[in-house]
Amino acid sequence: MNIDVVGAGIIGLSTALTLADRGHSVTVHDPAPASGASHHAGGMLAPTAEVVYKQEPLFPLMRASAEWYPELIALAAKYTDLPTGYRTDGTLVVARDTADKTHLAELRDYQAQHGMEVEKVTTRAARSLEPALSPAINGAVRIAGDHQVQPRLFTQALLSACRAAGVRVDPQRIDDARTLDADQVVIANGLGARALLPYLDLRPVYGDVLQLRVPDHQYPLLTHVVRGFVEDRPVYLIPREDRTLTVGATTREDGRAAPQVQGVHQLLRDAIELVPAVEECDFLEATAGARPGTPDDLPYLGRLDERTVVSTGYFRHGILLSALAARCGAELVEKHKPSIDLSACDPRRHE
C-alpha cells in the first residue's frame, strides 16, 4: 500500500517507521523534519507523574503507550545505531514546603485510586538516591515506572531509521491533502493540521524550556528525573547522558512564540530551590515550543474517511503517546481494530 504521512515530528516519524516496517511504501512530507514541538519537548515517559485531575480518559492511553514504548525503541534500533536517550532510572517527585507536601500527598492518593504505583519515600531516602537535592525538601515519592527519552536525539534516530527502512522524506509543504494520490493519508503535522482540516479545534500551548550543561566536577548531578512543586508551581529536571540537564516547563496561551523572561526566571528559581547546585551549571539555551492542544486535552486519533487518518492534538503528551500513535495509527491505516479503545479521541468530536 502507498501511504503519505504529513508531518515529520515524533508522531509522524514513529507512524511512518511502523508502517514501513509492516511492508508499506511510505512518504513523509515536511519542509523541516523534527523541528516542531518535538524539538522543545522534555521527553518524559511518565504516565503516572503526568496525570492531571479530571482527565481520566487519558490515563489508559498513557499507560498503554508506556507499555508499548520499548517496542518503538527496539524498532528504531532495528534500522539505526543512532542514540535515543532512552533511560529507565525512574522519577522522583518532591515537595519544597509543607503546602507542597500536602499537594504531593493528595496527588499520590489520586494516583493510587487509579491503580498507579507510587512509592512514598522519606526525604532522607530521596536525598540518598539524589544527594544533590536540597536538604529543605518536605516530601518525596518515587515512581520507578516513569522513564525518559531525549527528544532531539530520538527524532533524529527515527528520521535515520525511516530512511533506512525505505521511507521517502519529501521537503514539500502540503497545503491540501487532496493533492496527495496515495492509497492512505495520515495527517500528523501538529498544529499545521488546522490548515488541512479547519474543523479540528487545535490551539498552540507554549512552554518555556531550558537546556543547561552540568560541569565535570558535578556530573552526574542527577540520575533520576526530578519533578517537584515549589509554592504549588510544577518544575522538572531531566538528566541526560550528554551531561546536559533539561529544565521545564511553563504553560501559557499568550501567543508569544519566544521564551519569556518571567518563565525562564521562574524555572531557574524553582529548579535551584530543589537542586541548589543548578546555580553552577552552564546556561546553554532557552526555547519555547508550541504544543497542539484540544478543548479536552485528548488527541485527535482516528479515521476521517476511507482514505484519511488523523493523528494530532497530543498536547503535553506527544512524546509519551508516540508509541500509541504509531501502533494505533498503523492499525487504522490498515483498517484493523485498534489495540485500545480510541472512541474518546474521535477527530470529529468538536466539529
Is the domain of 139 the same as that of 228? yes
* Average pLDDT, integer, range 188-214: 97
Percent of the chain whose pLDDT exceeds 70: 100
Residue 294 binned pLDDT confidence (cut-offs 50, 70, 90): very high
CATH code for position 28:
3.50.50.60
Tell me, yes or no, whether 319 lies in a domain: yes
Is the domain of 57 the same as that of 164? yes
Tell me, yes or no, whether 255 lies in a domain: yes
pLDDT tens string 110-125: 999 999 999 999 999 9
Is the domain of 220 the same as that of 73? no
pLDDT at 258: 96
* Average pLDDT, integer, range 192-208: 96
Residue 229 binned pLDDT confidence (cut-offs 50, 70, 90): very high
State the SS3 of the chain: CEEEEECCCHHHHHHHHHHHHCCCEEEEECCCCCCCHHHHCCCEECCCCCCCCCCCCHHHHHHHHHHHHHHHHHHHHHHCCCCCCCECCCEEEEECCHHHHHHHHHHHHHHHHCCCCCEEECHHHHHHHCCCCCCCCCEEEEECCCEECCHHHHHHHHHHHHHHCCCEEECCCCCCHHHCCCCEEEECCHHHHHHHCCCCCCEEEEEEEEEEECCCCCCCCCCCEEEEEECCEEEEEEECCCCEEEEECCCECCCCCCCCHHHHHHHHHHHHHHCHHHHHCEEEEEEEEEEEECCCCCCEEEECCCCEEEEECCHHHCCCCHHHHHHHHHHHHCCCCCCCCCHHHCCCCCC
Q: How many domains does the chain have?
A: 2
Is the domain of 237 the same as that of 284? yes
pLDDT tens string 22-76: 999 999 999 999 999 999 999 999 999 999 998 999 999 999 999 999 999 999 9
Is the domain of 331 the same as that of 283? no
* Average pLDDT, integer, range 192-205: 96
pLDDT at 91: 97
Given a cut of 90, is residue 331 above it in pLDDT? yes
Is the domain of 220 the same as that of 316? no
Is the domain of 134 the same as that of 216? yes
pLDDT at 308: 98
* Average pLDDT, integer, range 198-227: 97
**Residue 219's domain spans which residues?**
91-144+204-293
Is the domain of 235 the same as that of 286? yes
Boundary-marking domain end, from 254, 277, 293: 293
- pTM for the model stands at 0.97
pLDDT at 273: 98
Given a cut of 90, is residue 197 above it in pLDDT? yes
Given a cut of 90, is residue 249 above it in pLDDT? no
